[in-house]
Amino acid sequence: MTDDALDPALKAMLKAAAEAPAGPSIRDLPVPEARAAYRERYLIRGIRAPEAPVAMTEHALELPGRVIAARLYRPETAAGGKLPLVIYFHGGGFVVGDPAAYDNQSRRLADRLGALVLTPDYRLAPEHPFPAAVEDAWDVFTLVAGDAAAWGADPAAIGLAGDSAGGCLTLVTALTARDRPNGPQPVAGLALYPVTDFRPNAGKDVSYPSMAAFGRGYFLDTATMDWFCDLLLTGTEDALDPRASPLLWPDVAGTCPIVLVTAGFDPLSDQGDAMADRLAAAGVPVDHLRLPDMIHNFPGYAGLSAGAEAAFARVVDAFGARLLGRTRR
């Protein structure tokens, strides 16, 4: 694939960044500064908030032995009564990212879906290495699904969504629910350009052509992925744990419908494709959206690219069809 297929605005942005970087890579900063830089850059370059008002309230989620913060978004234009609820897990390599960085994106998601969106501030590495984030994701899902009425949510319309690291959490949470058929079940999941296999970054003898082709110069690079991996995993054998690498899940049959999105210029695209293929081969309803002109984290550049903004809308509509059982605007 040549750069001619890349969205023109994203291509120009990447060229400008290569010629005159706006700041150091987050991997070259102390972790607290990396998180602040990621948040600032995401809000500046990322997707804009919708014109319609979306209310936001802050919550403290009481999970077993711990409390984490979360934000709940409710579109003020939504009809009364119980609404679908989407738990959205932010991206950031399990090291950076938070609900504040994703504020505009969460508002846009809530508005376009006409649904509640809950964004948990799950625990991050290196303070909380694997599997802390996985445990938080599962516990948040069971907390919400176990008392949907308390959130004003329709218990039959609880969905999962996330991007990159959050896409991994979406898949792992959906697969965990699949393994526990007597417990709550999500109605659908959205995994945007998910990491599904940590083995290449943990020194295992596994490789993907897209990592070599797009591992430098397309926002997410190999060095940053390795940095994330080093901070997240307590040892290389963690990469073999299906909760870190859901592509290795023993049995995926019976998982809820999944919308899985891969981007043409993303080093993670091949492992995302492999996950979609594995789910489909097991009979899972999969909507695999391949976006050939996009890069990893394209909603984080949708403030600069109309193409990225349109791609995000397409993704949300596909997820809405699964979540709501109907097509949105």
For the chain, give percent helix, strand, coil, nearest 5: 45, 20, 35
Cα–Cα distances in Å, from 278 out to 244, 247, 249? 16, 8, 10
Task: Please give the pLDDT value at position 329.
Answer: 40
* Of the candidates 143, 137, 180, the residue with the CA atom closest to the CA atom of residue 160: 137
Task: Please give the pLDDT value at position 2.
Answer: 72
Q: What is the pLDDT along the chain (329 residues), one digit of tens a residue?
A: 578 899 999 999 999 988 887 779 999 999 999 999 999 999 999 999 999 999 999 999 999 999 999 999 999 987 778 999 999 999 999 999 999 999 999 999 999 999 999 999 999 999 999 999 999 999 999 999 999 999 999 999 999 999 999 999 999 999 999 999 999 999 999 999 999 999 999 989 899 999 999 999 999 999 999 999 999 999 999 999 999 999 999 999 999 999 999 999 999 999 999 999 999 999 999 999 999 999 999 999 999 999 999 999 999 999 999 999 854 44
> Mean of the per-residue pLDDT values for the chain?
96
Pick the catalytic residue from 90, 103, 164, 245. 164
Task: Please give the pLDDT value at position 79.
Answer: 72
* Of the candidates 286, 222, 219, 293, the residue with the CA atom closest to the CA atom of residue 263: 293
Task: Please give the pLDDT value at position 206.
Answer: 94
Pairing of β 54-63 and β 116-120: unpaired
Rg, the chain, Cα only:
18
Task: Please give the pLDDT value at position 328.
Answer: 44
Q: Is 296 a catalytic residue?
A: yes
Q: Is 59 a catalytic residue?
A: no
CB < 8 Å & 24+ apart, contacts of 317-322: 317/112, 318/259, 318/287, 318/289, 319/113, 319/159, 319/161, 319/188, 319/190, 319/259, 320/112, 320/113, 321/287, 322/159, 322/187, 322/188, 322/257, 322/259, 322/285, 322/287
Task: Please give the pLDDT value at position 327.
Answer: 41
CA dist 108 and 309 (Å) reads 10
CA dist 197 and 243 (Å) reads 10
Pick the catalytic residue from 266, 270, 287, 293. 266
Widest CA span in the chain: 55
- Start-end of H helices in the chain: 8-19, 31-45, 103-113, 132-146, 165-179, 209-214, 222-232, 269-281, 306-324
Q: Is 128 a catalytic residue?
A: no
Pick the catalytic residue from 106, 238, 296, 305. 296
